[in-house]
Every structure is written in C-alpha cells, then in structure tokens.
Chain A
Amino acid sequence: MAEIQGGGGEGGKKGGKVRSKKSSTRIDMTPMVDLAFLLLTFFILTTTLSKPQTMEITMPEKPKEGDKQPEVNEKKVLTLVLGANDKVYWYVGITEPEAKKTDFSKDGIRKVLVEKKSEIRDLIVLIKAMDEAKYKNMVDILDEMTISSIQRYAIVDITPADKEIVRQTP
C-alpha cells in the first residue's frame, strides 16, 4: 500500500551524496476508505426508500334529522360484508339475498366486482365490516374499488340482518 516513505530501503548505500528522495507523496487511504464505507453502509441501511403513500377517502356527512336519504333500486346494490379471517361475503339485492363467500385474492372478490360491474349498470357497492374485520381488509376492499374503478361505493354500518346472512352462509 502506498505510504509516505520514511528512511527505509537506503540502508545499503554508504556515504555518498545526500539524495533527495524521489518517493511519491502517496497517502495511505485505507482508513479513510474504511470510514467512507462504514458511513455508506449506515446510510444505506437507515434510509427508507419507499415513502408511504396515502389514499384519500371522502365520507358522506352524517345524516341529520329529517334528511331525505336517496332511494336506490335494490337490484343495483352489491353488498360486501367483511368478515373474520380475511373472508368477504357478497350478495346482490336486499330482500332474501343469496350470499356467497370469497376472499381477497385475485380470483376472489376482484372477479366478482368486475363481473357485477359489467352486468349491472350504475352498480352501487355497500361495504359493511363486521367487528372481526381487520383494518387491512377495509383498505384492501377500498383498493379493489379503485382497481376495478367502481365509482359508487359507501362504507356503511353492519345490520343484524347482515350478520344473520353471514352466519347462514357456509
């Protein structure tokens, strides 16, 4: 390794002229490089490259007394109930619906949403989460709305009737 050389190597020559040494002034850079790489490693490990994103949601205002709620055709309503263990139950309509169970995989709820979206014009999706549902499920389902570009959806409170439907679904 290059270093500022001291008096080494000239021992063999006796007397003679005093020669100005022609050693190059090279500095041992090893410690500096060590430090540089240490810092580099530190900063690489501590930086978080993927900054979290945000998903903006707008909730409707809480209805006041005497507010008229818009009426919709129940055939256009797809209800999704988020249940325990990452399961989601879905049914169309409100009176005596036939609920089915699926999950959050690609062939699960997404397929249903795409299908229903093409089948039903002006589809309205109601998202109801059971108490056992996780926050992740809620974000996932909102994400699915974005992915399948469903425009009209709402997060609503679950009713005992929904719970009953879920309970009966195998």
Chain B
Amino acid sequence: MSKVKMHRTTPSIDMTPMVDLAFLLVTFFMLTATATPDEPVQVSIPSSVSQMPIPERDMIIISIGKDNKVFFTVDGQFTRAKMLKEMGQLYNISFTPEEESIFAVITSFGLPIQNLKQYLSLGREERKEIAQPGIPVDSLNNQLKDWVLQARLANPKVRIAIKGDDDATYPVVKKVINTLLDRKVNRFNLITGKEAMPDEMKAVAAKKPAI
C-alpha cells in the first residue's frame, strides 16, 4: 500500500464575487456621495415629523449656531457674486473681481461686511481657523436684512430656510424671523432632522381637518 499523499495546495478562495460586490458598493457610495462643504459653524438641528425634503437649489440658508451667531449662505456662484457687488455698493466697500470670485465659491460666512474684505484676503486654511463673529442682526445694524434683500434681487427664485441649533436661544431666532417678516418673507422653512410620527398619533394626524 502506498502512502496516501497529502496534497499541499494552499487553500485559495475565489474572491471574485466578493470583489464584485465590493466594487459595486464602492460605485454606489461614490455616486451618491455629495461633497459636503465645510461649514464654519456646526449646527445640530432639532428633529421634527415633517417629511418635506429640502430643495437642493436656490436656497438661502440662515444658520444660527449654538452661541447665537448668525451665518448666511446662498447657493449659485453667479448669485453670490452679484449679491456681493450690490452689498459693496450699499456699504461703500469696493470688492475686486478676485475677491468676488473667492466669495462666489466659499460657503456660509458670519461676519459684518466691514470685515469681509479682510476675510476674503486670507488663505483657505486661515479662513477655516478664524472665529467668525456672526452677522449683525440688531435693530440698529441689521446687515442680514440687506443680505436677504440682495440675494433675492440677484436670484428671485430663492427660498429661505433657517437652520437653527438646538441650543440657540429664542431671542435670536425671533430677531431673524422678524428680519424676514420686515422683508415681507412670510413663508420660510425650518431645517429639521427626521423623526418618526408617534404611532398612537398617526390616526389623529391622518384625519382630515373638519374645516
């Protein structure tokens, strides 16, 4: 009897299906990923049962940080450049074309327009580091009002959303809302997270109003 020879083959697994799957997932996540621009303010938004998605374009977003600083952004490079030019004229500050083009691509900002020129002259990394004081919304110096107006003039289609932090206090929110009401913006959005409708209330909410 000859010895039973043991085959010394290394156990190899066919990895092809796994790799297929891995690449499929990579492709999926790559395509669905949207590059989130870094915001100068971290906002943890409250949640609500509202199901309405945010429009992706033509939005003014007014962020209120947890330290009650107000930040402003609007999408669209053309809108931003035009808005800045008009704002400069209003406040007698002339922005160079370079500054306009930088402004067109940055995200939200929260500083008085008087400091904006200096901010735009900073480098990309420096801009991230700097602590922004927030846009003035006081009744004496309400620049938010002008930003909203100029953004709407530059792009009449824009809608306005307020993205407030859980811990922002009500007086600031009230100031922002009053600013909008002064501009006859009566309809606006509050950006919230998702939350399930409590089960026992579903029946109540589904009922049509008796009016």
Given contacts A2-B12, A82-B170, contact A53 B51 (CB under 8 A): yes
A57 touches B174 (CB 8 A): no
A53 touches B186 (CB 8 A): no
B170 touches A53 (CB 8 A): no
B209 touches A52 (CB 8 A): no
Interface membership of chain B positions 49-80, coded 1 if the CB is closer than 8 angstroms to chain A and 0 otherwise: 11111100000000010000000000000000
Interface membership of chain B positions 147-168, coded 1 if the CB is closer than 8 angstroms to chain A and 0 otherwise: 0000000000000010111111
A36 touches B26 (CB 8 A): yes
Q: Provide the residues of chain B in CB contact with A56, threshold 8 Å.
A: 50, 52, 187-190
A37 touches B54 (CB 8 A): no
Decide yes or no whether A143 CB sits under 8 A from chain B.
yes
Q: Provide the residues of chain B in CB contact with A51, threshold 8 Å.
A: 53-54
A54 touches B50 (CB 8 A): yes
Name the residue among A1, A55, A110 with the largest chain B CB count within 10 angstroms.
Answer: A55
Count contacts between A and B, CB distance < 8 Å: 164
A53 touches B54 (CB 8 A): yes
Decide yes or no whether A148 CB sits under 8 A from chain B.
yes
Q: Which stretch, B109-117, B138-146, B194-202, touches the partner chain A?
A: B194-202
A33 touches B204 (CB 8 A): no
B177 touches A52 (CB 8 A): no
Q: Provide the residues of chain A in CB contact with B205, threshold 8 Å.
A: 146-149
Given contacts A59-B181, A139-B190, contact A151 B211 (CB under 8 A): yes
A147 touches B197 (CB 8 A): yes
Interface membership of chain B positions 6-45, coded 1 if the CB is closer than 8 angstroms to chain A and 0 otherwise: 0000101001101100110110011011001000000001
Count chain B residues whose beta carbon lies closer than 8 angstroms to a beta carbon of A. 60
Name the residue among A46, A61, A110, A138 with the largest chain B CB count within 10 angstroms.
Answer: A138
Tell me the interface secondary structure of chain A in the complex.
Answer: mixed
In the bound assembly, the distance between CA atoms of A110 and B205 in angstroms comes to: 13
Interface membership of chain A positions 140-170, coded 1 if the CB is closer than 8 angstroms to chain B and 0 otherwise: 1011001111010000010000000000000
A52 touches B192 (CB 8 A): yes
Q: Provide the residues of chain B in CB contact with A129, threshold 8 Å.
A: 170, 174
In the bound assembly, the distance between CA atoms of A151 and B25 in angstroms comes to: 45
Name the residue among B10, B12, B168, B204 with the largest chain A CB count within 10 angstroms.
Answer: B204
In the bound assembly, the distance between CA atoms of A82 and B174 in angstroms comes to: 13
B204 touches A148 (CB 8 A): yes
27 A-B Cβ contacts within 8 A?
Answer: A32-B19, A36-B19, A40-B25, A40-B26, A40-B29, A43-B26, A44-B25, A47-B29, A54-B53, A55-B50, A56-B50, A56-B187, A61-B184, A131-B171, A134-B169, A134-B170, A135-B64, A135-B168, A136-B46, A138-B170, A139-B190, A139-B192, A142-B48, A147-B197, A147-B201, A147-B205, A157-B174
Besides A56-B50, A143-B48, 5 more A-B contacts (Cβ < 8 Å) are A33-B15, A43-B29, A54-B54, A147-B198, A151-B209
A residues contacting B by CB (< 8 A) are: 1-2, 29, 32-33, 36-37, 39-40, 43-44, 46-48, 50-62, 82, 106, 110, 114, 129-140, 142-143, 146-149, 151, 157
CB-CB nearest 5 A-B residue pairs: A43-B29, A135-B164, A55-B50, A136-B166, A54-B189
